[in-house]
Amino acid sequence: MTASPLTAGTQRLNETSPASIANSLGVPAAGAPGRYLVNGAILVGSNTQTNLSYQGTGVRVDTLAVDGVTVVDSTLRSNYSVVPLTGAVAAAPTEFTQFFSVLYYNPALLNASTTWSAGAAYEKFTGTQIDDLYTVGDYTGATTGNTPTPVASGTTIAALMAAGGISSSSDAAIYTLTNGSVSTINGVTTYVASNVRPNLTTPTYRTYYQLNGNVYVGSLIKSGTVQGGNGYLVATPGTTGYTINYSQNYQIRLNAAAVTSLHAAVTF
């Protein structure tokens, strides 16, 4: 950023392209961008443009649409702390290793003798959703524009409910009027499930939208929800298997020295 939001107001953060910390693996192909339902229209989110400002004692992060103007998602970051990293990279604090569990669960993925570079540290904070967030996705396949693959065309949510509901393979559930309700939200006929979706760290509700003659699938994160971190692996005693713990409710970011240290430590 060119200036502080404290003195210069809201600042634009333009993120750089992803980079791999592995020695033998490149950056994975980009996935589908976030799609958001805003004022009755499906908007594609930008993966690189956000506005930052101060709100109370926290930092407000507004994610923008690809137009670089429209706000599609807002989060308040608070409870900041900075933790220095010293000693062996493979022996990081528990909250750190759990956040990066996919890397730390298998000891063979990190060189046991590599140590953290001078100045290495991580930042920990809480992310809280500002306003209800309605996202839209593909029911099947993967598209990237503002017309995701619908659940069905030329029909209504009422008709689908009357025909037995809508099946969700990712949630292992069939959504009907017994486990959700239909109302008009921001001018759009919307189904919202009664219970949160399974196996997610952020409490999220399944949604369906009736829009432009189609029914689309999506999700709702309610205002005031604390955003979850990463599910972490927990070894099952007496076996080679594991379970996944989805209770993590904090975020971690690394400084440059910590990123460089991880890059030096990975064995692949």
Residue 1 has pLDDT above 80, yes or no: no
Domain that holds residue 69: 34-129+227-265
pLDDT (mean) for 115-128: 98
Buried b (16+ CB within 10 A) or exposed e, 178-189: eebebeebeebb
Domain count, the chain: 2
* Same domain (yes/no): 104, 139: no
- 199: alpha, beta or left? (left if phi > 0; alpha if psi -120 to 50): left
Q: What pLDDT band is residue 219 in, cutting at 50, 70 and 90?
A: very high
Q: Do residue 100 and residue 167 come from a single domain?
A: no
Residue-level pLDDT at 90: 97
Q: Are residues 238 and 209 in the same domain?
A: no
Query: What single letter denotes the amino acid at residue 107?
Result: P
257 has a pLDDT exceeding 90: yes
Same domain membership, residue 102 and residue 76: yes
Domain check: are 216 and 184 in the same one?
A: yes
Q: Is residue 17, in this structure, part of any structural domain at all? A: no
- Greater confidence (131 vs 47) lies with 131
pLDDT tens string 16-43: 888 899 999 999 887 778 999 999 999 9
On whether residue 195 sits in a domain, the answer given is: yes
Amino acid at 94: T
Query: Has residue 153 been placed in a domain?
Result: yes
47 and 160 housed in the same domain:
no
Q: Residue 140: exposed, middle, or buried by beta-carbon count in 10 A (0-12, 13-18, 19+)?
A: exposed
Q: How far apart are CA 63 and CA 127, in angstroms?
A: 13
The per-residue pLDDT for 261 is 98
- Model pLDDT, residue 28: 85
Token pair 């979850």 in the structure block, residue: 228
151 inside domain = yes
Model confidence at 158, pLDDT cuts 50, 70, 90, reads very high
Residue 4 counted as domain residue: no
